[in-house]
Amino acid sequence: MTKYQVLVVDDDIDIQEAIEIYLRGEGMEVSKANNGLEALLLLEVKEFHLIILDIMMPKMDGIQATFKIRESCNVPILMLSAKTEDMDKIMGLNVGADDYLTKPFNPLELIARVKSQLRRYTTLGPMNSMEKTANEELSVRGLVLNPVTKEVTVDGEEVRMTPTEFKILELLMVNKGRVFSIDDIYEKVWKDPAFNAENTVAVHVRRIREKIEINPKDPKYLKVVWGVGYKMEK
């Protein structure tokens, strides 16, 4: 068995090296590029199992690079950026990235995500890693959520969700049954430490209920677990 080949694309040498160290520590081979152009050149001469791509780069930024890369192949791409908002855009749009991480990131989380992508890519085969796993339609009884088209339907009828509402609902539906505390939800959705999140999340939950529940006062889908958090009833 040969080692996994990972390409790290970032203009900041320090970050390049940091990532290299983490990944080598996990037994992976690491190549480096300083911008999108360099990355494309490297891609022509070598095959990679995963690409880690910074968004902000000179010459060719991460988004342009992703489009170019996707023209020829679909290795998993993990995006890096300093701003959460960037990421939301990127993921919402069909840029073609498979996962993302905001700086500053936790090394362990980086490793976890890298491994996760590698696992998907190799178990499902290079062909269609995207569609099969994370992007399946999620459903709970009459409630259906499509992560790709960002559509939500209740008993066949479409309901419009705002981005935040969608993300909360997605989180709960991906892990249906599992209870998330308000702080959990805030951190996973906002990608920021929870800071006076109680009310904010509560308000969003209420709006979601208004849209998906027949009777918001007696929710059948999005339930509260007193003193613990919220969950999607199985």
Partner DNA sequence: TCTTGTCTTCATAATTTCGTAAGAATTATG
Partner DNA sequence: CATAATTCTTACGAAATTATGAAGACAAGA
Does residue 98 interact with DNA by CB under 7 A? no
Alpha carbon 102 to chain centroid, angstroms: 10
Report d(CA 96, CA 114) in Å as an integer. 16
- Determine contact, residues 29/8, Cβ cutoff 8 Å: no
Using CB under 8 A, which of 2, 27, 44, 104 touches a second copy? 104
Q: Which is nearer to DNA, 53 or 201 (CB)?
A: 201
Does residue 228 interact with DNA by CB under 7 A? yes
Report d(CA 97, CA 62) in Å as an integer. 10
Q: Which is nearer to a second copy, 41 or 73 (CB)?
A: 73
Using CB under 8 A, which of 11, 29, 68, 96 touches a second copy? 96
- Determine contact, residues 171/180, Cβ cutoff 8 Å: yes
**Phi, psi at residue 26, to the nearest 5°?**
-100, 10
Q: Is 208 helix (H, G, I), strand (E, B) or coil?
A: helix
Counting Cα atoms < 13 Å in the Cβ hemisphere of 141 gives 9
Using CB under 8 A, which of 59, 94, 132, 206 touches a second copy? 94
| Contacts with a second copy, 120-139, as mask; x by CB under 8 A | x--x-xxxxxx---------
The helix (H) or strand (E) run that includes residue 31 is strand 29-33
Instruction: State which of positions 169-188 bind a second copy (CB under 8 A).
Output: 171, 174-175, 177-179, 183-184, 187-188
Amino acid at 184: D
Interface residues with a second copy (CB under 8 A) are 12, 14-15, 17-18, 21-22, 74, 76, 89, 91-94, 96-100, 103-104, 106-109, 112-113, 115-116, 119-120, 123, 125-130, 148-150, 162-163, 171, 174-175, 177-179, 183-184, 187-188, 193-196, 225-228, 231, 234
